[in-house]
Amino acid sequence: MTNPAQLYLVCAAALIALGIFGVLRIRHLIRQIIALNIAGSGAFLVFAVSAIKADGPIADPVPQAMVLTGIVVAVSASAVALALATRVTKDSGRPELSEGGDE
């Protein structure tokens, strides 16, 4: 039988891969921000799995505190990114990034 920590790590790797794929493949700014948040969720899951101890039922609180702090930072960074994306959309009239970057 598979260890639950291994299953969590596989799910975390899938989330990170899906998020990176979305950032690289999608041109829409808000969807890129969502994809970046998905990749961040995978990273938080990796940290949460590192808190699991094999010898006892109580998890290590330090990685849990790091995940909680990371979530707060990710929410604030997402808010700033969404504000910038709405400003770019308002100024350029379209929510996608330009190909050449010469605008």
pLDDT higher than threshold 80 for residue 69: yes
Task: Check residue 12 and give its pLDDT.
Answer: 96
- What are 92-99's contacts with CB under 8 Å, separation 24+? 95/28, 95/29, 95/30, 96/27, 96/28, 96/29, 97/27, 97/29
pLDDT of 101 above 70: no
Question: How confident is the model at residue 100, as a pLDDT?
Answer: 60
Give 35-59 pLDDT, tens digit per residue: 999 999 999 999 999 888 777 778 8
Across 2-6, 22-26, 81-85, least confident range: 2-6
* Predicted pLDDT at 4: 83
